């Protein structure tokens, strides 16, 4: 119970922050390929408690639509690939579906997008040709009831729609798909619907271990990849992939179509060979992704451009076939506890001048580990603080002043406090997925001095910092080499 509360509290703060962002939105995909998930009603509560405002589902399951009535959550619903045939064949099939399966729940359940088919170019069997006719029938059905402006119709794609994605400026659609992509793009432009893409730097990294730096995939590269045609600098694979798509659209003169990312994420666990599938990496990827999106950074080719992103996925899904990682993309376990603590605040880069309650007795507060925390949560949060959180954790190394007492709670407290003080000393900066707690009593002892934001008394240390995680180590490779390797790997990915 306490654990559940903390998780909810932490994520709530995170998502309240997301709310404040007027530009780009973060949503979550609610995949249900599992036999142990909570009921849709419970999921609706979980989603609301976490202030998740945008949710993607893959069908139009009635229990789910009912559960989200009057929650304010905006749903993207889907027509599955197996339904493309009837939807493309007869207008009446789309009309009936809308009348019987959607309208009874609308507008109590907010529906804003309908995806017609998903990643059709990845499927066997030639169903691509059905997509646009089905989209047209769905749009016509919506128009008949006056909802065509409120509900957008589109279809999702994998990066496999491109035949080239490196350098990004050379991005181009695979001409084998032109027969259905051309009418699809015309449809999107005409109806101001976005192009929906699923982006997975994880796969790109996993399938080309030696050639792509993990840091580049995790948004923490210290080197840049230069696009030789445009001179644009890329520091992460996500941006490079999005821009490849922008350039592919521009090459066909579709300049007005927006891009929306309908899936991206990182698995927290994988088979022994999938070494990058760890809670740490999943936490780093999603934390950095959220910060990147919320900051409205845009991409090098489209700086400041709004980019809505859905994180895959809400739950671990035990029925998904394939490698171990496939079943471990979730932010939550089926019992609704978090898989890892997600810090939506990034490294304090996000403006958080609204929520911070910095007041206390003397105006001075510290942040320490809550004594109710599980070891795992504490360890994750400590690793994060000393890694992505940029905290200098030297003082808690053996023989340093804050090493004793040698326990997780003490070490975590020391690290949490530094992060907190360095990042505005706000509630949010002491969240750590719910395991941080603010106190107004100085936790310093003996020679272990806890810094404060005002007089930053940190322990002087002259040893080389030993990071407690490897997440901040950079594998520096020259930009020219990186770009060469990137080209190699993208070709490889597209071959698959």
Ligand X SMILES: *[C@@H]1O[C@H](CO)[C@@H](O)[C@H](O)[C@H]1NC(C)=O
Q: Which of the residues are catalytic?
A: 119, 263
Contact of 241 with 309, CB cutoff 8 Å: no
Q: Closer to ligand X at the Cβ: 99 or 441?
A: 441
Scanning residues 9 to 68, which ones bind ligand X (CB under 6 A)? Answer: none
Phi and psi dihedrals of 198, rounded to 5?
-100, 125
Please select the residue that binds ligand X; options are 297, 318, 390, 397, rule is CB under 6 A: 297
Distances 198 to 94, 241, 250 between C-alpha atoms, Å: 25, 10, 19
494 makes contact with ligand X (CB under 6 A): yes
Specify the DSSP element, H or E, that contains 225: strand 225-226
157 makes contact with ligand X (CB under 6 A): no
- From residue 337 to residue 356, the character string flagging contacts with ligand X as x (rule: CB under 6 A) and all else as - is ------------x-------
Compute the least distance from the CB of residue 142 to ligand X, in Å.
25
Phi and psi dihedrals of 75, rounded to 5?
-105, 140
475 makes contact with ligand X (CB under 6 A): no
Cα–Cα distance measured from residue 435 to residue 6, given in angstroms and rounded to the nearest whole number:
7
292 makes contact with ligand X (CB under 6 A): yes
Compute the least distance from the CB of residue 300 to ligand X, in Å.
12
Tokens of 53: 């405002």
Please select the residue that binds ligand X; options are 460, 464, 478, 496, rule is CB under 6 A: 460
123 makes contact with ligand X (CB under 6 A): no
Q: Closer to ligand X at the Cβ: 98 or 482?
A: 482
437 makes contact with ligand X (CB under 6 A): yes
Q: Please name the residue that has the structure tokens 């017609």.
A: 116
Please select the residue that binds ligand X; options are 231, 398, 455, 478, rule is CB under 6 A: 455
Compute the least distance from the CB of residue 227 to ligand X, in Å.
19
Q: Closer to ligand X at the Cβ: 55 or 437?
A: 437
Q: Number of residues interacting with ligand X: please give it, by CB under 6 A.
A: 31
472 makes contact with ligand X (CB under 6 A): no
- β-bridge pairing 225-226 and 233-234: antiparallel
- Length, in residues, of the chain: 496
291 makes contact with ligand X (CB under 6 A): yes
Cα–Cα distance measured from residue 125 to residue 131, given in angstroms and rounded to the nearest whole number:
13
Tokens of 179: 């027969």
Compute the least distance from the CB of residue 64 to ligand X, in Å.
32
* Half-sphere exposure of residue 287: CA atoms within 13 angstroms, side-chain side: 25
Scanning residues 193 to 212, which ones bind ligand X (CB under 6 A)? Answer: 208-211
DSSP of 270-310: --TT-TT-SHHHHHHHHHHHHHHHHTT-B-SSSBT----EE
Tokens of 253: 């003169």
Cis amide leading into 207 (omega within 30): no
359 makes contact with ligand X (CB under 6 A): yes
Q: How many other C-beta atoms are found inside a 10 Å radius of the C-beta of residue 405?
A: 10
Please select the residue that binds ligand X; options are 108, 129, 233, 251, rule is CB under 6 A: 129
**Which stretches of the chain bind ligand X, using CB under 6 A?**
2, 126, 129, 163, 174, 176, 179, 208-211, 291-292, 295, 297, 349, 357, 359, 370-372, 437, 455-456, 460, 462, 485, 488-489, 492, 494
């Amino acid at each position: 119970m306490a654990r559940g509360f903390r998780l909810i509290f932490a994520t709530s703060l995170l998502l309240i922050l997301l709310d404040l962002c007027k530009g780009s939105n973060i949503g979550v995909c609610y995949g249900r390929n599992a036999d142990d998930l909570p009921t849709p009603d419970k999921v609706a509560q979980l989603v609301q408690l976490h202030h998740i405002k945008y949710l993607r589902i893959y069908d139009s399951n009635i229990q789910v639509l009912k559960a989200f009535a009057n929650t304010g959550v905006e749903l993207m619903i889907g027509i599955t690939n197996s339904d493309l045939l009837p939807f493309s064949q007869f207008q009446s099939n789309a009309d009936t579906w809308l009348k019987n399966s959607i309208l009874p729940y609308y507008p109590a359940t907010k529906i804003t997008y309908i995806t017609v088919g998903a990643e059709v170019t990845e499927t066997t069997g030639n169903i691509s040709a059905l997509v646009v006719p089905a989209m047209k029938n769905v749009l016509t059905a919506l128009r008949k009831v006056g909802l065509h402006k409120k509900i957008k119709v589109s279809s999702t794609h994998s990066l496999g729609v491109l035949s080239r994605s490196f350098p990004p400026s050379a991005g181009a659609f695979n001409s084998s798909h032109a027969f259905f992509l051309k009418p699809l793009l015309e449809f999107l432009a005409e109806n101001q619907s976005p192009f929906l893409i699923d982006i997975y730097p994880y796969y790109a990294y996993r399938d080309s271990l030696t050639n792509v730096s993990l840091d580049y995939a995790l948004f923490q590269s210290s080197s840049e990849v230069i696009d030789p045609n445009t001179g644009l600098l890329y520091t992460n694979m996500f941006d490079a992939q999005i821009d490849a798509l922008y350039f592919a659209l521009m090459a066909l003169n579709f300049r007005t179509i927006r891009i929306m990312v309908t899936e991206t994420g990182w698995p927290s666990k994988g088979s022994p060979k999938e070494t990058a599938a760890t809670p740490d990496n999943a936490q780093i990827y999603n934390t950095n992704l959220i910060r990147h999106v919320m900051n409205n950074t845009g991409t090098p080719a489209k700086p400041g451009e709004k980019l809505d992103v859905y994180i895959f996925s809400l739950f671990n899904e035990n029925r998904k076939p394939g490698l171990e990682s496939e079943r471990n993309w979730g932010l939550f376990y089926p019992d609704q506890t978090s898989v890892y603590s997600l810090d939506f605040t990034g490294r304090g880069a996000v403006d958080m001048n609204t929520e911070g309650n910095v007041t206390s007795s003397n105006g001075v507060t510290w942040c320490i580990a809550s004594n109710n925390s599980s070891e795992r949560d504490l360890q994750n949060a400590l690793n994060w603080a000393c890694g992505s959180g940029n905290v200098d954790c030297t003082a808690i190394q053996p023989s340093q002043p804050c090493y004793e007492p040698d326990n997780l709670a003490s070490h975590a407290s020391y690290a949490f406090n530094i992060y907190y003080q360095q990042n505005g000393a706000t509630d949010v900066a002491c969240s750590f997925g719910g395991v941080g707690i603010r106190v107004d009593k100085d936790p310093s002892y003996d020679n272990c001095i806890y810094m404060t934001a005002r007089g930053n008394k940190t322990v002087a240390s002259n040893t080389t910092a030993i990071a407690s995680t490897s997440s901040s180590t950079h594998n520096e490779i020259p930009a020219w080499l990186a770009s060469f390797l990137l080209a190699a790997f993208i070709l490889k990915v597209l071959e698959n």
